[in-house]
């Protein structure tokens, strides 16, 4: 596996933001396919100045993530990580399960550091920047203060030092993370009706779930899964109702009536 320098990593991360977050913004916010329009979560629009700042903060996040990536490459080359390259080392089962395992650990790390960053003293230093996006759009997915970006980046070397993962599984994990972060900030609900009520998908976080966090602060703190929110009683109890309103189009009806 070839090593990548800092600027190559920065280029890849910037391109990832432009393609995935920028691409989602173009599709959902500019192009707006017909089926998407009634599934808008909030009716307000973000202020253009907020969008401009989201893009700048996201670039600063890429600067930090690239440094974390460089550190990871250095650690791998020097034999400090458990990233492996031969599938036969642990087999195919482990390869697939390790992706899920990494997601569960990442979600746990995210939930607890997120709660910590919501404490009074830390909030304005670490997390206020992310919450400046009161009306999330895909462009807000990586809009973090550098201190928060450091916290978010730290999980990658931490996991790779502790748990074996195939390089391909690691890349898959990073790709899933990117797409789910963008989906959480989409501003539109793309999951099917009844998603929060099904026995399996009720454990998966949706755009409606995370959008509510940007407004309510104290609820819905998870990243991929809802279980920590359930266990720690930080789950928004109206989630299922809110989701149904958006996906049934009754939100539109209520708003039209009010107008
Ligand atoms: Zn967010
Ligand atoms: Zn938060």
Per-residue model confidence as pLDDT tens for the chain (259 residues): 778 999 999 999 999 999 999 999 999 999 998 888 899 999 899 999 999 999 999 999 999 999 999 999 999 999 999 999 999 999 999 999 999 999 999 999 999 999 999 999 999 999 999 999 999 999 999 999 999 999 999 999 999 999 999 999 999 999 999 999 999 999 999 999 999 999 999 999 999 999 999 998 899 999 999 999 999 999 999 999 999 999 987 555 444 444 4
Q: What is the DSSP letter of 124?
A: I
The answer to whether residues 208 and 246 touch, using CB atoms and an 8 Å cutoff, is yes
Q: Is residue 61 part of a domain?
A: yes
CA-to-CA distance for 30 and 42, rounded, in angstroms?
16
Q: How far is the CA of 84 from the centre of ligand 1 (A)?
A: 32
Q: How far is the CA of 144 from the centre of ligand 1 (A)?
A: 9
Q: Is residue 157 part of a domain?
A: yes
Q: How far is the CA of 118 from the centre of ligand 2 (A)?
A: 6
Q: Is residue 45 part of a domain?
A: yes
Q: Is residue 217 part of a domain?
A: yes
The count of other CB atoms within 10 Å of the CB of residue 23 is 13
Task: Give the ligand with the smallest distance to the CA of 187.
Answer: 1
Q: Is residue 201 part of a domain?
A: yes
Q: Is residue 195 part of a domain?
A: yes
Task: Give the ligand with the smallest distance to the CA of 186.
Answer: 1
**Total domains present in the chain:** 1
Q: How far is the CA of 179 from the centre of ligand 2 (A)?
A: 19
Q: Residue 55's domain spans which residues?
A: 6-258
CA-to-CA distance for 197 and 243, rounded, in angstroms?
10
58 half-sphere exposure, CB direction, 13 A CA radius: 26
Q: Is residue 1 part of a domain?
A: no
Q: How far is the CA of 76 from the centre of ligand 1 (A)?
A: 31
Q: Which contiguous run of DSSP H or E holds residue 157?
A: helix 146-162
Q: Is residue 231 part of a domain?
A: yes
Q: How far is the CA of 151 from the centre of ligand 1 (A)?
A: 15
pTM of the prediction? 0.92
């Amino acid at each position: 596996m070839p090593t990548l320098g800092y600027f190559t990593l920065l280029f890849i991360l910037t391109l990832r933001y432009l393609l995935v977050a920028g691409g989602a913004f173009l599709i959902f916010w500019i192009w707006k396919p017909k089926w998407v329009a009634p599934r808008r979560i909030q009716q307000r629009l973000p202020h253009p100045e907020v969008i401009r700042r989201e893009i700048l903060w996201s670039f600063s996040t890429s600067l930090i993530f690239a440094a974390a990536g460089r550190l990871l490459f250095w650690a791998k080359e020097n034999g400090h990580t458990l990233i492996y390259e031969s599938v036969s080392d642990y087999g195919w089962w482990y390869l697939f399960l390790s992706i899920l395992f990494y997601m569960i650990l990442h979600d746990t790390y995210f939930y607890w550091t997120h709660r910590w960053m919501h404490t009074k003293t830390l909030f304005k230093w670490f997390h206020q920047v992310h919450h400046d996006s009161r009306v999330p759009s895909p462009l807000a997915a990586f809009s973090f203060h550098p201190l928060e970006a450091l916290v978010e980046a730290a999980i990658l070397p931490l996991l790779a030092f502790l748990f074996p993962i195939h390089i391909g599984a690691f890349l898959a994990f990073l790709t899933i993370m990117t797409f789910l972060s963008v989906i959480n900030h989409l501003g539109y609900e793309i999951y099917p009706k009844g998603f929060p009520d099904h026995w399996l998908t009720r454990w998966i976080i949706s755009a409606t779930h995370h959008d509510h966090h940007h407004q309510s602060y104290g609820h819905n703190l998870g990243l991929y899964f809802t279980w920590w929110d359930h266990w720690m009683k930080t789950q928004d109890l109206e989630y299922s109702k809110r989701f149904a309103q958006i996906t049934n189009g009754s939100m539109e009806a209520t708003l039209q009536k009010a107008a």
